Amino acid sequence: MSQARKQVKKKFNPAVLFRKQIFIPIAALLLLAIFNLIADPSFYKITLGYNSAGDPVLSGYLMTILDYGSELAILAIGMTLVTAASGGQDISVGAAIAIAGSVILRVLCGTDSRPDHMQAPVIVAFLIACVVAMLFGAFNGALVAYFKIQPMVATLILFTAGRSIAAWINNNELPIISDPSFAVYGGFIPGIPIPTPFFIAMVCVIITMLILKFTNLGLYTQSVGINESSSKLNGLDPAFIKFLSFVLLGLCVAVAGLIKVSRLSSINYSVIAKDIEMDAILAVALGGNSLGGGKFNMTASILGAYVIQFLTTTLYKFNVQSDALPAYKAVVVIVLVVLSTPKAREFMGKIAKSLKGSERSVA
């Protein structure tokens, strides 16, 4: 009995908890959850209703979070790999989403910007977008891996040019797809009340987890990030691993692009996925991953993405001016960066230890 209690106590040892990477997103999530519970418990209300097509849909703030956080979760997967391998971030994902989305609409619309029927199956359009997005990823990757350019500087090129390229792909027209079957990817599958983007995100997450479990991708990425020359001595090709991480991010971008353009069955080149690169990087940071590369925790990043959406939705709920949202996120970043420094962690560990010590002395 006492042994069992001791074991439980060991599990909840706060000092260990603080040192766990996943502690950061979970703590942030709990903080937000408790805040909402106190401020207005109706935040958690979920209702089953019907959309205008007559299909059942679940609605409520929690569903909104699952829905809109999905693109970010998908991007966070790729961004985590890029961060870990290259020790830098890709700031061109928003522009790349515009390109991928534009390609999808271009293939679906053909030459007519307002077709009555889709000119090609969605899967074909999506696969072409995947190839295009991976090519742009490869472009970024090549600059970083083989020409040794700083990731932020290398991806600045696409960040600047991407949206113009996206507009050029569609001759600067704004295609609109009226076929309701295209709206499924960013909306609901008829008969299933949970938003499709969440399913897409989950499929991506599962595939990623399987890849990390059954291949050496995770291990290789981390070792390249931690020490490039020693991993080279051990027979790895650091340049290729970095290159690969950017190509994989390209794949994530294509998936996020499909969801984005499907939400409105249209595209606006200058604002689609605007500033999403900042949120994606924030998700990685919120996951407690070092932005300088090396070790990473994929689950924590994905959780981080949903925490960001949780924060956004909470702020919308309390009618915070939406142009002030970046300021709140900035505060989160500052707190996180400070918390994740070894100094702050050591300090928290000490506090936890002394707490435990006083507990013991009281007992």
Partner 1 sequence: MKKKLLAVLMSAVMVMGLTACGGSAPAESAAPADDSASEAATDDAAAPAASGDLIKVGIINNDPNESGYRTANDKDLKEMFTKENGYDASFAYSLKNDEQITAAQKFITDGVDYLLLSAADTAGWDTVLKDAQDAGIRVILFDRTIDAPDSLYEASIVSDMAKEGQTAVDWLASQNLSEYNVIHIQGVMGSAAQQGRSGALDSKVAAESNWNIVTQQTAEWNAEKAQQIVQSVIDAGTPFNVIYAENDDMAKGAVAALDKANISHGVGKDVIVMGFDCNKWALEELLAQNWNYDGQCNPFQASYIDEIIKTIESGGTVSEKTIIMDEKGFDATTITQDDVDNYGI
Give the footprint of partner 1 on this chain (CB under 8 A): 42, 49-53, 57, 59-61, 64, 68, 87-89, 114, 152, 163-164, 167, 172, 174, 176, 187-188, 260, 263-264, 266, 268-275, 278, 281-282, 285, 290-294, 312-313, 316-317, 319, 321-323, 325-327, 329-330, 333-334, 337, 341
CB nearer to partner 1: pick between 102 and 208: 102
Could you give the C-alpha distances from 314 to 1, 80, 145, 296, 320, in angstroms and in order?
43, 25, 40, 28, 9
CB nearer to partner 1: pick between 275 and 359: 275
CB of 343 to partner 1, least distance (A): 10
CB nearer to partner 1: pick between 169 and 205: 169
Distance CA 209, CA 280 (A): 19
Burial label for 101, CB within 10 Å (0-12, 13-18, 19+), is buried
CB nearer to partner 1: pick between 83 and 208: 83
CB of 356 to partner 1, least distance (A): 29
Residue type, 229: S
CB of 63 to partner 1, least distance (A): 8
Burial label for 254, CB within 10 Å (0-12, 13-18, 19+), is buried
Q: Which of 62, 86, 46, 90 minimizes the C-alpha distance to 279? A: 90
Distance CA 304, CA 281 (A): 10
CB of 342 to partner 1, least distance (A): 9
CB of 52 to partner 1, least distance (A): 4
CB of 4 to partner 1, least distance (A): 42
Element (H, E) at 346: helix 342-362
CB nearer to partner 1: pick between 134 and 200: 200
CB nearer to partner 1: pick between 101 and 134: 101
CA angle 124, 125, 127 (to 5 degrees): 65
**345: number of Cβ within 10 Å:** 14
